A = this chain, B = another copy of it.
Amino acid sequence: MPPIIREHTSHQFEHELAEVRNLVLHMGGVVEEQVKNAVPALIKIDGDLAEKVLSRDSEVNRLELEIDEACTKILALRQPTASDLRMVTTISKTIADLERIGDEAEKIGKNAANLVMAERNKGIFKSLKYMSEHVISLLRQALDAFARMDVEAAVKVAGLDNEIDDEYDGIMRQLITYMMEDPRSIKASMDVIWTARSLERIGDHATNICEYVVYIVKGKDVRHKSWKQVEKDYL
């Protein structure tokens, strides 16, 4: 291939790759907004906000399919190698996690509708609010690390997920005590349980995105690795 065409192709390719990355960040923004709307919908029992979460679902699904198709096209036509190839294959994983975050937000939004009539326990709602703020911050930071392909930030952010798991365990303990004390609260408590569980899952998916950043930039797959070792290697 003469150099001039190669350059043109490479420029074109970079443009396509940048476009796909922008779509991923856009998708990240949409699910982040879903999560942000879902929890106040629950805490304030706001049906309109809950509705807003549900209405974005089809957009998220459409973006997942569109991005996946773009990635397959790039693989077929551009045959990327090295870090570009890692970028394309990992974007496909990233959007699967984003789509699942959107699903969890949707579940939280649906629970909000169920809770409209429920009695409320102030202590538990406070804990849930704190946990949700931490999860939203974790997701925000994970998406930032992805946008900047910042390995150090990604490793730091993934380390925060332990705290969220602890908060989740705490809420579960609170809820079990509450249900035992007041069995009439069991049905409503179950909705809180599912919400806490969804928040915990969102934390896990955000952590996955952090792991992908390390893989794309460093070429090292850190899934299933001891996080202490990963922190030692990259911080």
Whether A72 lies near B89 (C-beta < 8 A) is yes
Query: A89 CA to B76 CA in the complex, in Å?
Result: 11
Distance to closest chain B CB from A88 (angstroms): 8
- Contact yes or no, B76 A81, CB < 8 A: yes
Within the assembled complex, what's the spacing in Å between the Cα atoms of A75 and B85?
Answer: 8
Q: Is A190 positioned at the interface, with any CB of B under 8 Å from its CB? A: yes
Q: For the side of the interface on A, what is the size category? A: 20 to 34
- Among A20-28, A46-54, A63-71, the one that faces the other chain is A63-71
- The DSSP consensus for interface residues of chain A is helix
Residues on B with C-beta less than 8 A from A44 are none
Residue of B180, B190, B221, B223 touching A183 (CB-CB under 8 A):
B180
> Assembly of this chain: how many copies?
2
Q: Which residues of B contact A79 (CB under 8 A)?
A: 79
Across-interface contacts of A69 in B (CB, < 8 A):
221
CB distance from A71 to the nearest CB of B (A): 7
- Report 19 cross-chain contacts, Cβ distance below 8 Å, ordered by A residue: A58-B224, A61-B223, A64-B224, A65-B221, A69-B221, A72-B85, A72-B86, A72-B89, A75-B85, A79-B79, A89-B92, A92-B93, A93-B96, A96-B96, A179-B186, A180-B183, A180-B186, A180-B187, A186-B186
Residues of A in contact with B (beta carbons under 8 Å apart) = 58, 61-62, 64-65, 68-69, 71-72, 75-76, 79, 81-82, 85-86, 89, 92-93, 96, 172, 176, 179-180, 183-184, 186-187, 190, 221, 223-224
Q: Which 4 A-B pairs have the closest CB atoms?
A: A61-B224, A79-B79, A183-B183, A180-B183
